[in-house]
Homo-oligomer: A and B are copies of this chain.
């Protein structure tokens, strides 16, 4: 493996990220649109679509889509020494619309791009519903009024619901563009990560935990569901778009679990040390809401050390995959731990 790694072209992580973000933003812009539904029997109501677009096209970090695409590329790199990075061609993909097309050829990376956007739609819908008055009652998200402030609560509720459905639409294009087995596998991974034994379940535990003292195990279980499940699913969905070996899959699963937790630990640290303008959301919110966090449980230094150890676990798991080129995943793991917002 060492010789193969040394034979790889130099990686500029920031260039990779910039290029993939362009693809993702472009695809989301085209797929979350009235035009994309044009081949469906009915046109999506414009007002609902406006709220959906506002929720999605808001300049988020897009960590989940990047994980999908990086995992896909890493598994591709394991298939052949002369693997090709994902081709562009998003214009052509997007022009086919959400529903896909029976006449289109299979594009390299189409499945991964659809998976990347589907995960982001689930993440976006969860933020819309989380921000609502009956949940966290947040008025600001990434420096903009939240969806319910901008469009009203009823529209926010519906936009979130429709975004969840759209995620599964994106994963099941009509015709030959994606293998049916791949479509089914992606829907399986995403629905489980989003549902009662995943993200929604974690949020329910979170709701029930305000004002309580949790043990580290309980806090861990909450975050494993609330944030971890979808981050881990991102990695596994990327792998599912290529043909990962059992060994690679096991390593990626462990990698996803470790960075999923690390992400949350760092979130808790940032809530304490960063200011609102850097975060783009209200800082110090957890303490104000009397929510249990890794910092309240382990202290600031303890939480920092824990984040470092999860970072190490993630990199070891990556090593164990035996994949030829995991440098982008490595770089994303670094970013998760070192981020300032």
Point out residues on A near B: beta carbons under 8 Å.
37, 40-45, 47-49, 52, 99, 125-126, 129, 132, 134-135, 152-155, 157-158, 160-162, 164-169, 171-174, 179-181, 183-185, 187-188, 190-192, 194-198, 200-201, 203-205, 207-208, 221, 224-225, 229
Contact = CB atoms under 8 A, between A and B. Distances in A.
A262 to B, nearest CB: 18
B154 A200 contact: no
A99 B191 CA distance: 11
Contacts of A181: 180-181, 184
Given A165-B195, A166-B191, A187-B168, A44 B154 contact: no
A207 B158 contact: yes
A339 B159 CA distance: 33
B157 A169 contact: no
A341 B153 CA distance: 30
Contact of A188 (B174, B179, B188, B198): B174
A99 to B, nearest CB: 8
A196 B134 contact: no
A99 B196 CA distance: 13
Given A160-B161, A165-B198, A180-B183, 18 more contacts: A40-B192, A42-B197, A43-B197, A45-B208, A125-B161, A129-B157, A134-B154, A158-B204, A161-B161, A161-B194, A162-B195, A162-B200, A164-B165, A165-B196, A166-B195, A172-B188, A172-B191, A180-B181
Contacts of A183: 180, 183-184, 187-188
A222 to B, nearest CB: 9
A225 B162 CA distance: 13
B157 A196 contact: no
B45 A201 contact: yes
10 contacts: A37-B196, A47-B204, A99-B192, A129-B157, A161-B161, A162-B200, A164-B165, A166-B195, A180-B180, A183-B187
Nearest to A42: B197
A157 to B, nearest CB: 6
Top 10 nearest A-B pairs by Cβ distance?
Answer: A165-B195, A134-B153, A48-B204, A168-B191, A183-B184, A180-B181, A162-B200, A172-B188, A44-B196, A162-B196
B184 A169 contact: no
Contacts of A162: 195-196, 200-201, 204
Given A195-B169, A197-B41, A157 B157 contact: yes
Nearest to A38: B197
B161 A134 contact: no
B42 A201 contact: yes
A185 B169 CA distance: 10
